Amino acid sequence: MDWLQTVLDGLAGHLSPAARVWTALSPALAVSAWFLVGFAIFSLQAWRHGVPIDAETVKRGDSLLAGAYIRHFLFWLIRPLDRLLYRSGIPANGITTLAVLVGIAAGVATAAGRFALGGWLFLASGVLDTLDGRVARARGEVTAAGGALDSVMDRYADAAILIGLGWYYRDSWILLVVLAALVGSSLVPYVRAKSESLGFPQKDGLMGRAERVLYMGVAVALSPVLEALLNPTDPHPRHWLAVAGIGLVAVLSNITAVQRLVGLLNALTPPDAAAGKRRSHRAIVVWNAAAAGGATLIDYGVVLVLVQMFSLPPALATLLGCLVGGAVNFGLNRAVTFRSDGPLGAQVGRYTFISASSALLNAAGIALLALHPAIDYRVAWWLVRGAVWLTWNLPMQRDFVFQAPSDATDANGIKAA
C-alpha cells in the first residue's frame, strides 16, 4: 500500500523535495483562494455600502504593517468561524486553551524541522486567540479571570514557536535572532499592560501580536517551498524565508516596545514650565548622535592604529580611544547639542565621570565579546559603542552633564531656586 507508506513517511518527516513543496504550498493555495474571493466580495461591499467596521480593530490601535482596511477585511473574513464557535456553545476559555495547545504544537513541529506544519499551526493558533475574546463578549461572558488567562496563554503560544525555532537553530547564529524576537514579543505586551495599569494605555506600534502572528507564521509556513527549490537535498536547511520573518519580528517588536515605553514615559512626565525654552527631545537625540558620531570616528581610528600598528588588546585600545574622543564630544555637545551656558568647571567634572564610566563600559563590553572568537573585534566595537551611547551616554549627558542650572538639585534633592 504505497499511499499508506507515503502518509507514514510524511508524518515522520521523510519528505521528497516535491512533497516538501506541496505540504507547504497546498494550505497556502487554499487560503489564498479563500482570501482572494473574500477580498473581492469585501471590496465590492465596501464600495457599495462602505467598509464594514470591526469595533475590535478600532480598539486595538493603528498599525503600519497591517492597515485598517486590511484588518477590517481579515476580521470580516473569519466571521463565519466566529459565528460557528459562538453557536457551538464551546466556552471561551476552552477556545483559549485550544489556541495555546495548537501554539505549543507549532513549536514542537518547528523544533523537529517541520516548518510548513509549524507555521500553519501557529497561524491557526492566532486565529483561535482572536476568536476567544469575541465569543466571550458576544455571549456576555467576559470576566477578569478569562482576560488574565487569555493574556498569559498568549505569551505561552508566542514563546512556544520561538522556543521550537531556537531548538532548530541551536547550533547557529540564527539562535540570537530568535532570542531577540522572543524578548521583543514579550516586551510589547508587557509595556502595554504596564501602561494600562498606570492609566495611559499605549497600543500603537509597528508590531503588535496580530502582525507577529501574520508575518512570522507565513514566513515559517512557506519557507520549505524556497528551500526545496534552492537546497532540495539539504537534510537540515536554513529556511532563509523563516529567518527573514523572525528577523523582522525581532527588530520591529523591540522597536514597538521602545515606542510604547517612550510614549508611556512622555505621558507620565509632568509638563515643564521651561519646556518652551528647551530644544525638543528629537533635536537633542539627533545632535547628540551627530556629536557622538564625530567623536566615535576619531575613537575608531585610534583603536585601529593601536591594534594594527602597536598590537594592543582591543579592550585596552578601546579605553584609550574613548579618552581621545571624549574632548571632541564634550565640546560639540556643549556648543551645539545642548547649547549650554552652565558653569564650565561643573560640567567638565560631571562629563569626566560619565566619560570615564562610558570608557569602562565600552572596554568591558569589548572584552566580553572577545570571549567569542567568531565575532570580529571591529563588529563587536560598533555594537558595544552603540549600546553604551544609547543607554548611558545620551541620557546621562542630557539629564546630568548639561542640565540647565534651574534643574540642579541640592544634596536633599530640592531644586535650586
Active site residue 154: yes
C-beta of residue 268 within 8 angstroms of C-beta of residue 198:
yes
pLDDT averaged over the chain?
A: 78
Helix residue ranges per DSSP H, 50-91: 55-59, 68-77, 79-88
Q: What are the tens digits of pLDDT across the range 273-301?
A: 444 445 556 667 677 777 777 777 777 78
Q: Are residues 236 and 283 in the same domain?
A: no
Q: What are the tens digits of pLDDT across the range 47-93?
A: 877 766 666 655 555 555 555 667 777 777 777 777 888 788 788 88
Q: Are residues 112 and 206 in the same domain?
A: yes
Q: Are residues 287 and 202 in the same domain?
A: no
Helix residue ranges per DSSP H, 269-340: 281-308, 314-332
For residue 272, the model assigns a pLDDT of 55
Does some domain include residue 148? yes
Q: Are residues 212 and 334 in the same domain?
A: no
What would the grid cell of residue 121 be? 499551526
3-state secondary structure 212-227: HHHHHHHHHHHHHHHH
Span 248-254, average pLDDT: 92
Decide if pLDDT at 46 tops 80: no
- Centre a 10 Å sphere on the Cβ of residue 364 and count the other Cβ atoms it contains: 15
Q: What are the tens digits of pLDDT across the range 175-189?
A: 999 999 999 999 998
How is residue 409 annotated by DSSP? B
Span 90-110, average pLDDT: 90
Q: Are residues 24 and 120 in the same domain?
A: yes
What is the gyration radius of the CA atoms in the chain, in angstroms? 27
> Which residue among 150, 154, 158, 299 is the active-site one?
154
Q: Are residues 146 and 23 in the same domain?
A: yes
Decide if pLDDT at 307 tops 80: yes
For residue 122, the model assigns a pLDDT of 93
Does some domain include residue 5? no
Does some domain include residue 274? no
Q: Which amino acid is at 48?
A: R
Q: Are residues 252 and 319 in the same domain?
A: no
For residue 416, the model assigns a pLDDT of 39
Does some domain include residue 413? no
Does some domain include residue 412? no
User: Of 53-57, 214-218, 367-371, 408-412, which gets the smallest average pLDDT?
Assistant: 408-412
Does some domain include residue 233? yes
Q: Are residues 219 and 328 in the same domain?
A: no
Q: How many domains is the chain partitioned into structurally?
A: 2
What proportion of the chain, given as a percentage, has pLDDT over 90? 14
Q: Which of 233, 265, 297 is the last residue of a domain?
A: 265
Q: Is 415 helix (H, G, I), strand (E, B) or coil?
A: strand
- Containing structural domain, residue 146: 15-265
Q: Which residues contact 152 (CB under 8 A, 6 or more apart)?
A: none
Q: Which of 238, 265, 292 is the last residue of a domain?
A: 265
Q: Which residue has the higher pLDDT, 343 or 100?
A: 100
Q: Are residues 228 and 337 in the same domain?
A: no
Does some domain include residue 377? yes
Distance of alpha carbon 165 from its chain centroid, rounded? 16
376 vs 359: CA distance, rounded Å: 20
219 vs 246: CA distance, rounded Å: 8
Q: Are residues 79 and 216 in the same domain?
A: yes
150 vs 128: CA distance, rounded Å: 11
Span 113-128, average pLDDT: 89
Q: Which of 265, 295, 324 is the last residue of a domain?
A: 265
Decide if pLDDT at 249 tops 90: yes
Q: Which residue has the higher pLDDT, 112 or 235?
A: 112
Q: Are residues 20 and 162 in the same domain?
A: yes
What would the grid cell of residue 341 be? 551656558
Span 413-417, average pLDDT: 39
Distance of alpha carbon 43 from its chain centroid, rounded? 32
Q: What are the tens digits of pLDDT across the range 199-211?
A: 888 877 778 888 8
- Predicted TM-score (pTM) of the model is 0.69
Does some domain include residue 270? no
For residue 30, the model assigns a pLDDT of 72
Q: Which one of 147-161, 239-253, 349-363, 374-388 scores highest in mean pLDDT?
A: 239-253
22 vs 194: CA distance, rounded Å: 44
CATH number at residue 132: 1.20.120.1760
Q: Nearest 5°: CA angle at 221, between 216 and 222?
A: 105
Q: Which amino acid is at 242?
A: A
Q: Are residues 248 and 286 in the same domain?
A: no
For residue 251, the model assigns a pLDDT of 92
40 vs 38: CA distance, rounded Å: 5
